[in-house]
Amino acid sequence: MENFPLPRLDDDEELKSYLLPYCRLRRGDIWTDTLKRHKVLCDDCTIDLSIKKLMGEEKASLALHDPPYNFIAFDQRQLISFTEWSKRWVNTTAFSLADNSSMYVWLGADQKNHFQPLPQFMNMMAETDFFSRSFITMRNQRGYGTQKNWMSIRQELLYYTKGVPSFDVNAEYTDIPKILRGYYKEIHGVVKENSERSNSQFIRAGNVWVDVQQVFYRMEENVNGCFAQKPLKAVKRIIQASSSENDIVIDFFSHSGTTLLASEILNRKCFCADIDPVFCEISIRRIENHRANHKTGWQNSNPFYKEIESNNSLKNYLQKKYSEVKTTSLKVNLI
């Protein structure tokens, strides 16, 4: 049973009701980590009072958000309400951030429907006090196969700033060696090729990231049941570029707790939130599991494997479910 994968949790209310008794938090609760002072809030991140309670007197130097963007279902009305809703969490983020800080937002674009909600979100952001800094594309190793269109292998990441935050360029370097030559330039009478003049033999990630593997079930960091997990490598890169040790990093859509775990590893303090007690519990267990076993996820096991072992009705439910729906091995990013 230990290797029994959890099916997608977000659309399985019955499974979540089995797991709820094992969750520490209920709506409005905050878990405070006694060791490194991280916090996990279980609440709606658009509520000013809840986020003020989470932040107290403290300010973050980095926000890293991955909101749900279910573009399959968007009609015009839903699109407007998505933008209005986004405005509210951008506002709670703005008052949680220090004067010189950064905000990164993962967002999708529906190729079959005018790339929504990406342009609408960008237009909404133009009305705020944030400055746009970069439009990053992360190339997934795999995407949806199609014979009639370009295969979709991209994930978009928007980088905004408030004031003038620091940026550590060292975080930009990949482990991909420079292989192209060019840009000869004469320096002190000697003609030198550009790689001879540069500080690094490796290329920078720039705003097209080609060196990050999409999370799938064979990876140690995999968290079964979490449908929209972001790769630890990408999240660590953002944290290293746009925050310093002991800074506060916020993530209002915690889900599998990737930002929390990356902050733990990189000695930042993470204040995160999720509206769902099950995802809050998974986030907390993710750092506890890392502290106990040095593992970044559960690979093909899951965060509740011990409880499943001792709960027959939950075990039966999963067995029945598993025989009905073969869980997908690939993490997809449709929500």
Rule CB under 6 A: is residue 304 a binding residue for ligand SAM? no
Smallest distance from ligand SAM to CB 67, Å? 6
Please work out the total of residues on this chain that contact ligand SAM, with binding judged by CB under 6 A: 19
Sign of the torsion angle spanned by Cα atoms 300, 307, 12, 324:
positive
Q: Hey, what are 284's tokens?
A: 């907390």
Q: Which of 12, 19, 23, 66 binds ligand SAM (CB under 6 A)?
A: 66
**CB nearer to ligand SAM: pick between 2 and 11:** 11
Backbone angles phi, psi at 46, to 5 degrees: -90, -5
Site string for ligand SAM, 27-56 (x = CB under 6 A): -----------------xxx----------
Smallest distance from ligand SAM to CB 192, Å? 43
Give the neighbor-by-neighbor strand order of the sheet with 269-274. 30-32, 39-42, 269-274, 248-251, 60-65, 97-107, 152-162, 131-144, 208-209
**CB nearer to ligand SAM: pick between 10 and 307:** 10
In whole angstroms, what is the distance from residue 28 CA to residue 269 CA? 20
**CB nearer to ligand SAM: pick between 39 and 230:** 230
**CB nearer to ligand SAM: pick between 121 and 203:** 121
Smallest distance from ligand SAM to CB 256, Å? 3
In whole angstroms, what is the distance from residue 286 CA to residue 231 CA? 14
**DSSP secondary-structure letter at 171?**
G
**CB nearer to ligand SAM: pick between 9 and 97:** 9
Site string for ligand SAM, 255-294 (x = CB under 6 A): xx-x--------------xxxx--x---------------
Rule CB under 6 A: is residue 68 a binding residue for ligand SAM? yes
Q: Which of 162, 230, 236, 290 binds ligand SAM (CB under 6 A)?
A: 230
Count other Cβ atoms within 10 Å, centred on residue 2. 11
Backbone angles phi, psi at 304, to 5 degrees: -110, 25
Smallest distance from ligand SAM to CB 187, Å? 45
Smallest distance from ligand SAM to CB 180, Å? 33
Q: Which stretch binds ligand SAM (CB under 6 A): 16-24, 95-103, 144-152, 221-229?
A: 221-229
Biggest CA pair distance of the chain: 79
Rule CB under 6 A: is residue 247 a binding residue for ligand SAM? no
Q: Which of 18, 159, 160, 253 binds ligand SAM (CB under 6 A)?
A: 253
Smallest distance from ligand SAM to CB 265, Å? 14
| Whether 69 contacts 62, CB under 8 Å | no
Return the bridge partners of 185, or none: 192
Q: Hey, what are 263's tokens?
A: 């902050």
Environment class of 150 (CB within 10 Å of its CB; exposed 0-12, middle 13-18, buried 19+): exposed
Count other Cβ atoms within 10 Å, centred on residue 308. 21
Rounded CA Rg of the chain: 21
**CB nearer to ligand SAM: pick between 193 and 220:** 220
Q: Which of 228, 249, 260, 261 binds ligand SAM (CB under 6 A)?
A: 228
Q: Hey, what are 274's tokens?
A: 């999720």
Q: Hey, what are 271's tokens?
A: 């204040």
Residues contributing to the site for ligand SAM (CB under 6 A): 44-46, 66, 68, 226, 228-230, 252-253, 255-256, 258, 273-276, 279
